[in-house]
Amino acid sequence: MSIKKVLVINGPNINLLGHREPQIYGSLSLSEIEKALRQEAEKLKIEIEFFQSNSEGDIVSKIQSLFGAENTGLIINPAAYTHTSAAIRDAIAAVGVKTIEVHISNIYAREEFRHKSFIAPLCIGQISGLGADGYIFALKKLAVL
């Protein structure tokens, strides 16, 4: 069974892309990244949905909405919650969908507190430091699973 639907979740401050620290996160806005992903999903014949929240609880609830979903994958950029959220980690574990963690910046070349991910051990992979292209790579990988 291959992945037919992908949910892309972005965490806190990702809504400020294009304005927030462009030297770290680049100049693309979240809507521009979503547009590129929508175009790629169309080519891959995958249904795609986007969700962004600055609230940990909203992200947990959205992940839980995947419970029982078949042929569904998750791309998540938990942003700062990567390093702090047992709740998001536990939600991903509970729903059991194939998940790829994405970070625009290289979290391992930044402050030491960013080197630990609560999420990565539950994922089939992590993409870090490849800019917005990381989302495209994650989508392409999910498409062949």
113 has pLDDT over 90: no
Cα dist from 121 to 93, 102, 118, whole Å: 10, 13, 7
pLDDT of residue 1: 58
How far apart are the C-alpha atoms of 145 and 50, rounded to whole Å?
20
Read off the pLDDT band of 22 (50, 70, 90). confident
Catalytic residue among 19, 25, 81, 135: 25
CB 7 within 8 A of CB 59: no
Strand partners, 74: 7, 99
Work out how many domains the chain is built from and give that number: 1
The span from the CA of 35 to the CA of 32, in Å, is 5
Q: Does the structure show a pLDDT above 90 at 8? A: yes
54: which 2 tokens?
Answer: 């600055």
Give percent of the chain with pLDDT exceeding 90. Answer: 82
Average pLDDT of the chain is 94
Range of the domain at 86: 5-143
What CATH number is attached to the domain comprising 134?
3.40.50.9100
Residue pair 85/42 in contact by the 8 Å Cβ criterion: no
Q: Give per-residue pLDDT as tens, 76-102.
A: 999 999 999 999 999 999 999 999 999
Encoded tokens for 21: 């620290």
Cα–Cα dist 29/49, whole Å: 17
- pLDDT, mean of residues 117-127: 96
| 103 given a catalytic annotation | yes
Clarify whether 83 is annotated catalytic: no
DSSP state of 6: E
The phi, psi pair for 11, rounded to 5°, reads -90, -160
User: Which is the catalytic residue, given 19, 81, 83, 103?
Assistant: 103
